[in-house]
């Protein structure tokens, strides 16, 4: 399982898993992309530097939890990923990729990579804070196969922020890699579209988690591949 959302503070993961009859206690391992509240189980988990494991996991019983930086996870065997490495089930981690983010400080984020036989490499991101370009560069170091599919967050809140606090468009300020008085621009979006088209993936699966509707539509109309907007409860096959 890749990331946990806000945990019990906004229990979408546990709710959706139950709706889909997906048994969280049958997961073989847990991978955390980066140690932000919306990926490690909530704001309390972030403050305590302690991954908040959903109750549906049970006690963990020593299950591996792969994290990109030092963190605790009760009942789990925390394994700090310090560089590219293999994970269970033939999946690989890019290793932690660093970027300094306003308010959040230096953030280490890992993406996961899998090779599909006779197709190529699939890259799955958390938020994409290091930029998708850097993540793809690392994926190409891990395999000579072409990039077949890319999925996850790219962090493009160009005109709006999916996550809001009263009077504050949070994701347009935090997590962009820019100072708060500089915004992600149309030019930034155009450059990433151009860079992704140069990679020539067959599929891109975009998360609306940290990308505004405007940017999602720009990606859909401008990318030269099958482009999907990820939805909860949908199975994607490729």
Same domain for 115 and 194, yes or no, is: yes
Same domain for 189 and 223, yes or no, is: yes
Same domain for 88 and 187, yes or no, is: yes
Q: How far apart are CA 30 and CA 74, in angstroms?
A: 13
- Residue 19's φ and ψ, nearest 5 degrees, are -60, -35
pLDDT at residue 209 in the model: 87
Same domain for 123 and 220, yes or no, is: yes
Largest Cα–Cα separation, the chain: 49
Nearest to 210 by CA among 158, 135, 156, 170: 156
Same domain for 69 and 88, yes or no, is: no
CATH at residue 193: 3.60.15.10
Same domain for 115 and 206, yes or no, is: yes
CA distances for 48 relative to 7, 22, 51, 174, angstroms: 14, 28, 8, 20
pLDDT at residue 172 in the model: 63
Nearest to 142 by CA among 207, 100, 97, 177: 97
Q: Where are the beta strands (DSSP E) in the chain?
A: 29-31, 63-67, 76-80, 85-86, 92-93, 97-101, 105-109, 112-116, 120-124, 147-152, 164-165, 168-169, 203-206, 226-229
Number of CB atoms found within 10 A of residue 123's CB: 25
pLDDT at residue 158 in the model: 84
Give the orientation angle of helix 213-222 with respect to helix 186-199, to 10 degrees.
40
N-terminal to C-terminal alpha carbon distance within the chain: 19
- Domain span holding position 7: 1-80
Count of the separate structural domains present in the chain: 2
CA distances for 179 relative to 105, 175, 208, angstroms: 12, 10, 23
User: Which of 56, 80, 104 represents a domain boundary (last residue)?
Assistant: 80
Same domain for 109 and 214, yes or no, is: yes
What string of pLDDT tens digits covers the 238 residues of the chain? 999 998 888 888 889 999 999 888 888 889 999 999 999 999 999 999 999 888 877 777 788 999 999 999 988 899 999 999 999 888 999 999 998 887 778 899 999 999 999 999 999 999 999 999 999 999 999 999 999 999 999 999 888 877 666 666 766 677 777 888 888 899 999 999 999 999 999 999 999 988 999 999 999 999 999 999 999 989 888 7
pLDDT at residue 32 in the model: 97
User: Which of 18, 53, 80 represents a domain boundary (last residue)?
Assistant: 80
User: Which of 32, 48, 80 represents a domain boundary (last residue)?
Assistant: 80
pLDDT at residue 100 in the model: 81
Same domain for 36 and 94, yes or no, is: no
Same domain for 171 and 95, yes or no, is: yes
Same domain for 123 and 21, yes or no, is: no
CA distances for 66 relative to 2, 188, 222, angstroms: 10, 31, 35
| Residue with the two structure tokens 């996550």 | 163
Same domain for 220 and 132, yes or no, is: yes
Q: Which two tokens stand for residue 7?
A: 């945990």
pLDDT at residue 165 in the model: 66
Nearest to 199 by CA among 146, 141, 139, 120: 146
Same domain for 128 and 201, yes or no, is: yes
């Amino acid at each position: 399982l890749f990331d946990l959302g806000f945990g019990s503070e906004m229990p979408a993961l546990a709710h959706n898993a139950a709706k889909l009859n997906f048994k969280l206690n049958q997961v073989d391992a847990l991978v955390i992309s980066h140690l932000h509240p919306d990926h490690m189980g909530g704001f309390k988990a972030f403050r305590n530097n302690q991954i908040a494991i959903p109750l549906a996991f049970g006690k963990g019983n020593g299950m591996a939890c792969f994290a990109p930086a030092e963190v605790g996870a009760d009942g789990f065997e925390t394994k700090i990923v310090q560089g590219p490495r293999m994970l269970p089930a033939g999946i690989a981690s890019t290793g932690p990729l660093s970027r300094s983010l306003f308010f959040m400080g230096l953030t280490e984020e890992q993406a996961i990579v899998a090779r599909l036989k006779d197709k190529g490499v699939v890259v799955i991101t958390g938020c994409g804070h290091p930029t998708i370009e850097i993540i793809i560069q690392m994926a190409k170091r891990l395999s000579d196969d072409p990039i077949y599919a890319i999925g996850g967050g790219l962090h493009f809140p160009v005109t709006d922020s999916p996550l809001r606090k009263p009077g504050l468009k949070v994701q347009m300020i935090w997590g962009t890699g820019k100072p708060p008085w500089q915004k992600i621009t149309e030019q930034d979006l155009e450059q990433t579209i151009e860079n992704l088209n140069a990679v020539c993936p067959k599929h891109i699966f975009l998360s609306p988690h940290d990308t505004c509707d405007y940017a999602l539509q720009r990606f859909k109309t401008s990318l030269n591949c099958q482009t999907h907007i990820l939805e909860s409860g949908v199975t994607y096959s490729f």
